[in-house]
Structure 1
Amino acid sequence: MGTLLLLITLICEIAFAIYCVITKQNHKKMKSWMRIVVFIAFVILTLSSVIVWDFRWLMLTIVLFILAVKGTISLIRNKTNNQKYKTSSIMWKTMITILALVFAFTPAIVFPQHQSPKVTGQYQVATATYTYIDKNRIEQFTDKGDNRFVNVEFWYPKNADGTYPLLVFSHGATGIKASNTSTYTELASHGYVVASIDHPYHSLYTVSNDGTKALINTDYKSEISNSNKEGIYTKEEVYGLIQKWMKLRTDDINFVIDTILTKAKSDNNPIYQHIDTEKIGVFGHSMGGAASVWVGKERDDVDAVVNIDAPFFSELVYNSEIDDFVARDEDFTIPLLNIYSDDVWQQLESNSTYVANKLNNEHFKDAYTTHLKGAKHLSLTDLPLFSPILANILQGGRADIDQYYCIEKTNELILEFFDNKLKDKGHFTPKETY
């Protein structure tokens, strides 16, 4: 929508400038009426919901309003033909207007208006956000001595009766808790309480209920970036970083689960009272997927795990004799679903970080593994819908798979897996490749 409107607007501006040059007149009266009509048209499109009003249209609204006001003032003063015609003046004003419009349209182009993936469940979905303070941990990313806080957003069945399984999600290395909103919504619509965690200073940004903001830590961001480059860290140093990252992630997840279970026993909040504390699943994308597998192995009360495009960090051991990673010699007994993009699928046999993920690993013989052909790493999140440009930049190109098909198939697989493992519904038999 943003790109289309920008093209139409630019064509009109350029065409009008050419008309002025050909006729050698300013046509200020016509220009003033054009500005007013364009603003009125924008308002009508917004009121009719063709344009869905949100942050992406704010700058454009301001620019169009200013131009419309200028046009109105010009008409009222009736100073439409007093200025002497100059081609250079026409060209400069047109260029300035075009630059202002491109700037104003930028949010609508970077974050295009899009349809949400389909929601197929019977329940309407409500959301709520809470900040939990961990009194047993001091925040390591600041020197204030404050306790660590974790922001959690819930998606749950609205105005529903009974109790539902609890699903806890962990975002990727530099993600946010809303990264897979379509997944949470689909699950909640089928009778799940989904809690997605922001890991402060690991997430791109997070805001607590009291307004406290936490941006991604620069040292952590550098560690993530450099760990994927050759020659920056040794394998042993990378292994140490993995342990540090996973310690924070798993501590956050364990803290959130324990807090929710405690509140389910004593808090009258309907969200907590809707939770079946005997049915718990954990899932996550990228580093969040690795942390979910780790938590699933550690906790006795986790009944199912979904790993979205992540290595099994919990199963890696650094072997100093070969200076590389080897897989831990232990069985993983919790029901597990792995969903891989091309980015990970192509590394399973070649990258030692994924040595435990290999399809022939007998310690994961009961795990389900599927591959979405043509998908890239971020295709398994909502980001390519929310901002295709950012997704393509971050993941090094455009995915070959249709994004709606990809995320909806991902959501479908996760729902069917949790339905089977937490609700004893149906038979879960995914194909190896979709």
Structure 2
Amino acid sequence: MIAMIILLGVIGVEIALGILSVKKKSPLYTTKANVRLAELLIFILLVISPIIKWSFRWYGLGLILLIQAIIAVFKALKSKKLTMITKGKTIAKVALKSTLLLFMLVPALVFPQDNEIAPTGDYGVKTVTYTWTDESRDETFTKEADHRSITVQFWYPTKEKESEEKAEDKFPLVIFSHGAFGIRASNTSTYTELASHGYVVCSIDHTYHATFTKQTDGKMLLFDQGFMNEVNKLLIDEAGQMGEEKYEMTQGWLKLRTEDMTFCLNQIKSLVELPSDKDEVFSMIDLEKIGLMGHSLGGATAADLGRRGLEIKAVAVIDGTMLGEETGFENGQEQVTTEPYPVPILNFYNGESYIEIKNIEDIYPNTIASASQKDSYQIAIMNAGHMNFTDLPMVAPILAKALGTSSVNPKACMKYVNQTILEFFDGYLKGEPINLPKEEVITIK
């Protein structure tokens, strides 16, 4: 909203100056200098105030306002000769400047500010990032003889809000896996909510499955084109013609990610168990209390690792199909294991998917696994789309809508999701009372 108001304001000023120049048949050097300085001053005051939070969103506008002011003052002081003003030339200038201002404000329009969800817990939250290399695995996405590297980011409690001093305690660990083309920051509001209530949260960038991965050495790695082609092929297969090819493809994705998460967990365990000289985040982790969660394909990853044991206590699957429950492909469809799911599980579904799932619940992995586990919870948010289970609709609503959102209020949806996940992990990692419904179908306003 603030970005649109500013855009309309600055373009309005350009139009007004253009009309006045044509009417007076003058370049209005002094008037423009005063206006440009006023625009720059107002912008600085907005940045100083709570209205504009200085970030990448406003860099372009700030730069153009500064340059405009300098040029306008220079012309007012130096130019003695009046320039001939024509209507056509003035209209062209106004159109050009308006277009430039619109371009500079694109980040603020696409990524609106003030959509963050503040954590509700008593702890402050701190973050740290690591890039780890798995020497036991080759990187199959590169031509070079590289080993597989993943970048992880931790969010963990500080002693109190606005403090950098670590909290003096041991806390449960929750590991998160993003969806296809997601990023490790995709559910930051969830991580900070958990951390503020006394959790250490680790989110994994699945390199080349993530839209981008920024490593700790500054190197930026983008998604793999071959992976994108596979995903696109699957998305257009509405008639389900791929059959066994789809099964083999999705199992390949899952294998890579499960190995990433297993490596991450083992790496954390080894660092926690160091006798001394370990980073503060690893001194805070209670390895007896580990939970997993993930969105979409990341949810499948978390659920697959949960079935494999590794001392996992609970799993939250956020709008994802539990591909790891599929054991083979026969008679034209995926075969699903009947082995009981071993740990408490929380499933979220978007409305459109839930309607489809209810028609196939006897053969759908999530519903079969949930039916086999007494501590299972299934929640459908009927007016939510797939991306409403991430922070993207709050951070970049235009992009999120293109990828799949529905009519739910994005902030209200994520507040509900975060609170539910917190209650779920509180119940199974901290032993607190849990009052979640076994199955619930809701609409969030």
Write the distance in 1 (CA, Å) between the matches of 2:414 and 2:55: 23
Aligned residue in 2 for 1:101: 101
Q: Secondary structure at the match of 2:85?
A: coil
SS at 1:426 equivalent: coil
Q: Please name the residue that 1:271 is paired with.
A: 281
Q: Does 1:187 align with 2:187?
A: no
By how many angstroms is 1:319 displaced?
3.7
Structure 1 contact 326–356 (Cα < 8 Å) conserved: no
Q: Which residue is 2:254 aligned to?
A: 246
Would you say the 8 A contact 1:347–1:354 is kept in 2?
A: no
Pick from 200, 209, 227 the counterpart of residue 234 of structure 2.
227
Instruction: Say if 2:139 and 2:148, in contact at 8 Å, map to a contact too.
Output: yes
| 1:128-159 alpha-carbon deviations (Å, 9 max, x no partner) | 00111111111111121111111010000112
- AA aligned to 1:276 is D
CA distance in 2, matches of 1:314, 1:381: 22
Deviation sequence 1:294-342 (CA, Å, 0-9, x none): 0000124000000000001011244432x12243222112000011222
Contact 1:206 1:214 in 2 (8 A): yes
What does residue 427 of structure 2 align with?
420
The question of 1:150 aligning with 2:158 is answered no
Q: Tell me the residue number matched to 2:83.
A: 83
Preserved CA contact (<8 Å) 1:312 1:354: no
Structure 1 segments unaligned to the other structure (5+ residues): none
- 1:197 alignment partner in structure 2: 204
Q: Between Structure 1 and Structure 2, how many residues are aligned?
A: 430
Deviations 1:51-80 (A, max 9, x none): 11111111111211111111110121143x
Partner Cα separation in structure 2 for residue 428 and residue 174 of structure 1: 34
AA partner of residue 244 (structure 2):
E
- TM-score, structure 2 length as denominator? 0.92
Distance 1:106 1:319 in 2: 47
| 2:11 aligned residue | 10
CA contact (8 A) 1:303 1:335 kept: yes
In structure 2, the partner of 1:377 is 386
Aligned 1:50-61 pairs, distance under 5 A: 50-61=51-62
Unaligned 5+ runs, structure 2:
159-165
In the other structure, the counterpart of 1:303 is: 313
Cα distance in 1 for partners of 2:358, 2:231 equals: 22
User: Shift of residue 278 of structure 1?
Assistant: 0.5
Q: Is the 8 A contact 2:341 2:370 kept in 1?
A: no
Match of 2:162 in 1: none
Q: Which amino acid aligns with 2:307?
A: K
Residue aligning to 1:33? 34
* Cα contact 1:337–1:417 (8 A) shared by 2: yes
Query: Which one is further off, 339-348 or 61-70?
Result: 339-348
Structure 2 residue aligned with 1:368: 377
Instruction: Tell me what 2:323 maps to.
Output: 313
State the secondary structure of the residue aligned to 1:133.
strand
Shift of 1:28: 3.0
**Secondary structure at the residue paired with 2:132?**
strand
Aligned residues of 2:318 and 2:348 also touching (Cα < 8 A)? yes
**Structure 1 match to 2:178:** 171
Native 8 Å contact 2:139 2:146 kept in 1: yes
8 Å Cα contact 1:318/1:326 also seen in 2: yes
> What code does the residue aligned with 2:353 have?
V
Mapped partners of 2:369, 2:210: distance in 1: 33
Tell me how far 1:187 sits from its aligned partner. Answer: 0.2
CA distance in 1, matches of 2:369, 2:283: 42
**CA–CA distance in structure 2, aligned partners of residues 359 and 246 of structure 1:** 19
Q: Alpha-carbon deviation of 1:360? A: 9.5
State the 1:258 CA deviation: 0.6
Give the AA of the match of 1:155. W
CA distance in 2, matches of 1:112, 1:89: 34
Letter in 2 for 1:433: V
Q: 1:360/1:172 Cα in 2 relative to 1: closer, same or farther (>3 Å)?
A: closer
Letter in 2 for 1:204: T
Task: Check whether the contact 1:348–1:357 (CA below 8 A) recurs between aligned residues.
Answer: no
Q: Which amino acid aligns with 1:110?
A: V
Residue 291 of structure 2 corresponds to which residue in structure 1?
281
Specify which of 341, 344, 368 is matched with residue 350 of structure 2.
341
Aligned to 1:400: 407
Q: Percent identity?
A: 36
CA distance in 1 between counterparts of 2:236 and 2:256 reads 23
The two structures have a TM-score, normalised by structure 1, of 0.94
Deviates more, 1:347-356 or 1:369-378: 347-356
Q: 1:232–1:212: structure 2 CA closer, same or farther, 3 Å change rule?
A: farther
Q: Which residue of 1 aligns with 2:265?
A: 257
With 306-315 and 17-26 compared, the bigger mean Cα shift is at: 17-26
Counterparts of 2:30 and 2:297, CA distance in 1? 59
Q: CA deviation at 1:233?
A: 5.8
Alpha-carbon deviations, 1:395-433, whole Å to 9, x = none?
Answer: 1xx521111110010000000000000101122323603
SS of match in other structure, 1:303: strand
**What do you get for the CA RMSD once the two structures are aligned?**
2.0
Counterparts of 1:274 and 1:247 in 2: how far apart (Å)? 30
The farther-off stretch of 259-268 and 240-249 is 259-268
> 1:214 matched to which residue of 2?
221
SS in 2 for 1:390: helix
SS in 2 for 1:348: helix
Please tell me whether the aligned partners of residues 350 and 384 of structure 2 are also in contact (alpha carbons under 8 angstroms): yes
CA distance in 2, matches of 1:365, 1:280: 19
Measured in 2, the distance between the counterparts of 1:268 and 1:356 equals 40
| SS of residue paired to 1:196 | strand
Contact 1:21-1:87 at 8 Å conserved across structures: yes
Q: Structure 2: how far apart are the matches of 1:316 and 1:229? A: 22
- The answer as to 2:162 corresponding to 1:161 is no
